[in-house]
Amino acid sequence: MENIKEKKIQDSEADVLTLEEAFGRLDQVVEALESREISLEDSFRIYQEGMKLLRMCNEKIDQVEKKILVINGEGGLDEF
Asked if 53 and 22 count as a contact pair (C-beta separation under 8 A), the reply is: yes
| Architecture of the domain made up of 13-72 | Orthogonal Bundle (1.10)
pLDDT tens by residue, 54-66: 999 999 999 888 8
pTM of the predicted model, to two decimals? Answer: 0.67
The yes-or-no verdict on residue 11 having pLDDT over 60 is no
Domain ranges of the chain: 13-72
User: Which letter, b or e, does each residue of 30-67 get, where b requires 16 or more Cβ atoms within 10 Å of its Cβ?
Assistant: eebeeeeebeeeeeebbeebbebbeebbeeeeeeeeee
pLDDT value of position 12: 52
Confidence bin at 31 (pLDDT 50/70/90): very high
pLDDT value of position 33: 94
